[in-house]
Structure 1
Amino acid sequence: MDELALLGDADQRAHRYLATVAQRRVFPDAGALAGLAAFDEPLPDEGAAPSDTLRLLDEAGSPATAVSNGPNYYGFVIGAALPAAAAAERLMLAWDQCASTFDNSPAAATIERIAGRWVVEALDLPRESAVGFGTSATACTLVAIAAARRALLARKGWDFDSDGLTGAPEVKVVISELAHITVKKALRVLGFGLKRLIVAPVDSCGRIDLARLPALDDMTILCVQAGEVNTGEFDPFAALIPRAKAAGAWVHVDGAFGLWARASAKSALTDGVEQADSWTADAHKWLNTPYDGAMTICRDAAALAAAMNADAVYSMASLDAQKNLNLEFSRRPRGLPVWAALRSLGRTGVAAMVERHCALAARIGEGLREAGYEVLNRVVLNQVLVRAQSDAQTVAIREAAQASGEVWFGATLWQGRPAFRISVSSWRTQETHVERLIALLAALRERHSG
């Protein structure tokens, strides 16, 4: 089979998969999981036919997928891939560009520059900000914190690039009591030490408590949240950030999914967030692009470019080249699906999608309360945090829902006790899907009561 025929076969298989996402089990059954054994082969001495490799991937792999690209997946704030973004990704693969610099790919460099400008405009952040397209919120947080530490040390006259950290003035980090694990991972990898992090207590909704905010100074990085992962709540930026800025601190916002509220009628939740120094956001969550697409946004473009500079004698580029704004030198043009999503949606489309998901989440909260569940959060965004009559019942219902194949959502702990978290973030999810979810959970509660 020649190259074009093979790609045509792949397209047909992809078409069949997408045509059935609404009918597929949201999580594979035991038979599909057992079928994964077909991949457990010895490394072949002689290569298999590409068509046979594709066949195996589809026949054994497709049934064992979690159908997060469908309408009934409510786990981990995972959005489905918008058609325009998925189509752009397919063409991007055909281009096979190393999107480090303009010299590598004029098309990619141009489109990613425009995508960055559109992201900043959609989120109404400082227009001078630089945008680096990376793999995930974890990687992009690492980039932002590295730039922040370097900038704070430079203010004290310390040359981080030449002298490293040995003997350097201490940079302190203040994080929320409920900071996301990816923020903690980035800080750990950067060498801050989890025991040395300063923890800011939170209120009953999961927001940093202003009355108990630790002391800040001009050698502090304050990490705040736009969208706490369980409750969907936002730290009080309008009061927090001016206090931090007055002390000379650098403020970083973990906005993996919640920052997109700023592009909608929910923007009041983000009031004051534009005063921060850096932000991270995922496109593969609420913007519904394919994985892996995220972004570091930094008000001080020069600080980000200096921290991430990857110029070499054989590859010099402008400060806004993507290799100078994120971790990767050799990279795919992750900003292309972002550009395609924003161009296909426009401002009104982004707002409508965010607002619809928030309304659907509110309906889930209302329906589950009526069914006798305890809804633990205020449902200010797209997150619904739920508990049944007892811890054992909560776990049993969640496991039964997952086993049904009709829906999928994950477990969590809230204030030390089991709960489950329902996230509405797929462009495919409509009112009919939400009503079926409510009906299923109502029936499961009745079945497991007592």
Structure 2
Amino acid sequence: MNELDLLGQADARGRRYTETNAHRRVFPSADAIAALAAFDEPLPEHGLSAEDTLALLDDVGSPATTASNGPRYFGFVIGASLPAAAAAERLMLAWDQCASTFGNSPVSATLERITARWVLDALDLPRDSAVGFGTSATACTLTALVAARRTLLARQGWDFDRLGLHGAPEIKVVVSDLVHITVRKALRVLGFGQQQIVHAPVDAQGRVDASRLPPLDEHTILCLQAGEVNTGAFDPFEQIIPVARKAGAWVHVDGAFGLWARASSLAHLTRGIEHADSWTTDAHKWLNTPYDCAMTICRDAQALSEAMNSDAVYSGASADAQKNLTLEFSRRPRGIPVWAALRSLGRKGIAGLVERHCSQARRVGEGLAQAGFEVLNRITLNQVLFRCPTDAQTLAVCAAVQESGEAWFGGTVWQGRPAMRISVSSWRTTDSDIDALLDLIVRVSHPVRASV
């Protein structure tokens, strides 16, 4: 089979998969998971046909996928791929560009530069900020924190590039008591130990309590959140960021999904966030691009480009080349699906997507409260946190929903007790899907409450 015929088969199989998104089990069956054993074969001595390889991948792999690209996956903030973004991704794969510099790929560099401008416009962040398109909030947080530490040390006369960290002035980090694990991971990778990390107390909704903010100074990186992972709550940026800036601290905001509220009528939740020094956000969450794509946004473009610079004698580039703004030297042009998503949605479409999901989340919360569940958060965003009267019932209801295959969401722990968390973030999710979700939860809860 020639290359074009094979690609045609792949397109046809992908099309069939997409067509069944709304009808497949949201989490694969036990039989589909067991069938994955078919992949466990020895490395072939002689290569097998590409057609057979594709068939195995689809016939065995597709049934064992989680339908996170469908309308009834509520487990995490995982947006289904918008048609324009998914189509752009397919063409981008055909191009197979190494999008490090303009010299490697003029179209990639041009589109990612334009996309960076659009992102800053949509999020109303300082227009001369640098935007690096990376793999995830983890990787993008890492780059932001590298720039932060390097800048704070430079302000104290320490040449990090020449001297490294040995003997350097100590930099401490202040984080929320409910800081996301990806920020913790980035700090660990950068060598910050518990001794250099100070935790800020939070209120009942998981927001940093401005009245109990730990001391800040010019040796401090302060990490705030736009969208706490369980409640969706926003730290009080208007109260905290001016204090941090007066102290000389660097302020970083983890806005993996919540930062997109700024592009909607919910922008008031982010008031003051524009005065931070750096931000991270994901496109593969609320902007509904394919995995994986995230962004580092840095007010001081030079600080990010110098911290991430990877120019070489054989490969120099402009300061805003993506290889000088991200961890990767060799990289795919992740900004292209973002460009397609933004272009197809427009300013009003982005706002509409965010606002619809927040409205649907409120409907879920109201329905759960009416059905006798305890809704634990003030639903201001797209997150619904709830539990049953007893912990055993909470665990059983969560398991029953997951086993049903009709929808999927996960469990969590809130204030020391089990809870359940629903995230609404897929463009495919309709109000009918919300009604079906509520019906499912109520239906599975009846036998649970009777027996547990």
Relative to the length of structure 2, the TM-score reads 0.99
The residue aligned with 1:117 is 117
Amino acid in structure 1 at the alignment position of 2:74: Y
Residues 261-340 of structure 1 correspond to what in structure 2 (within 5 A)?
Answer: 261-340=261-340
CA contact (8 A) 1:35 1:60 kept: yes
Output one character per residue of 1:1-57: Cα deviation in whole Å (capped at 9) or x when no partner.
111100100000011011011110000011100110010000011111001000000
The residue aligned with 1:180 is 180
The residue aligned with 2:161 is 161
The residue aligned with 2:133 is 133
The residue aligned with 1:229 is 229
Residues 206-225 of structure 1 correspond to what in structure 2 (within 5 A)?
Answer: 206-225=206-225
Question: Does the alignment pair 1:445 with 2:445?
Answer: yes
Output one character per residue of 1:139-186: Cα deviation in whole Å (capped at 9) or x when no partner.
000000000000000001101011000000011100000000000000
Amino acid in structure 2 at the alignment position of 1:259: L
Aligned mates of 2:184, 2:418 — CA distance in 1: 22
How far is the alpha carbon of 1:421 from its aligned partner?
0.4
Output one character per residue of 1:327-350: Cα deviation in whole Å (capped at 9) or x when no partner.
000000000000000000000000
Aligned mates of 1:163, 1:79 — CA distance in 2: 43
Question: Does the alignment pair 1:26 with 2:21?
Answer: no
The residue aligned with 1:425 is 425
Aligned mates of 1:358, 1:180 — CA distance in 2: 21
Residues 293-442 of structure 1 correspond to what in structure 2 (within 5 A)?
Answer: 293-442=293-442
How far is the alpha carbon of 1:389 from its aligned partner?
1.1
Query: What is the SS of the residue equivalent to 1:70?
Result: coil
How far is the alpha carbon of 1:288 from its aligned partner?
0.2
Output one character per residue of 1:235-276: Cα deviation in whole Å (capped at 9) or x when no partner.
000010000000000000000000000000110000000000
Output one character per residue of 1:329-383: Cα deviation in whole Å (capped at 9) or x when no partner.
0000000000000000000000000000000000000000001100000011000
Residues 225-264 of structure 1 correspond to what in structure 2 (within 5 A)?
Answer: 225-264=225-264
Question: Does the alignment pair 1:193 with 2:190?
Answer: no
Aligned mates of 2:442, 2:408 — CA distance in 1: 15
The residue aligned with 2:170 is 170
Aligned mates of 1:9, 1:254 — CA distance in 2: 41
Runs of at least 5 residues in structure 2 that lack an aligned partner in the other structure: none
Aligned mates of 2:443, 2:311 — CA distance in 1: 60
The residue aligned with 1:90 is 90
User: Aligned Cα RMSD in Å?
Assistant: 0.5
Relative to the length of structure 1, the TM-score reads 1.00
Output one character per residue of 1:199-247: Cα deviation in whole Å (capped at 9) or x when no partner.
0000001000011100000110000000000000000000100000000
The residue aligned with 1:17 is 17
Query: What is the SS of the residue equivalent to 2:175?
Result: strand
Amino acid in structure 1 at the alignment position of 2:404: S
Query: What is the SS of the residue equivalent to 1:297?
Result: strand
Aligned mates of 1:376, 1:196 — CA distance in 2: 32
Query: What is the SS of the residue equivalent to 1:205?
Result: coil
How far is the alpha carbon of 1:443 from its aligned partner?
1.3
Identity of counterpart residues, as a percentage?
70
Query: What is the SS of the residue equivalent to 2:174?
Result: strand
CA contact (8 A) 2:171 2:196 kept: no
Amino acid in structure 2 at the alignment position of 1:312: A
How far is the alpha carbon of 1:449 from its aligned partner?
1.1
Amino acid in structure 1 at the alignment position of 2:99: A
How far is the alpha carbon of 1:196 from its aligned partner?
2.8
CA contact (8 A) 1:184 1:194 kept: no
Aligned mates of 1:72, 1:29 — CA distance in 2: 16
Question: Does the alignment pair 1:81 with 2:81?
Answer: yes
Aligned mates of 1:374, 1:426 — CA distance in 2: 25
Aligned mates of 2:412, 2:249 — CA distance in 1: 32
Aligned mates of 2:303, 2:265 — CA distance in 1: 32
Aligned mates of 2:4, 2:194 — CA distance in 1: 51
Aligned mates of 2:384, 2:57 — CA distance in 1: 35
How far is the alpha carbon of 1:194 from its aligned partner?
3.0
How far is the alpha carbon of 1:302 from its aligned partner?
0.3
CA contact (8 A) 1:138 1:182 kept: yes
Aligned mates of 1:91, 1:361 — CA distance in 2: 34
Aligned mates of 1:366, 1:282 — CA distance in 2: 28
CA contact (8 A) 2:99 2:330 kept: yes
Aligned mates of 2:300, 2:75 — CA distance in 1: 35
Amino acid in structure 2 at the alignment position of 1:283: A
The residue aligned with 1:56 is 56
Query: What is the SS of the residue equivalent to 2:338?
Result: helix
How far is the alpha carbon of 1:195 from its aligned partner?
4.2
**After TM superposition, what 4+ stretches of structure 1 lie above 6 angstroms from structure 2?**
none
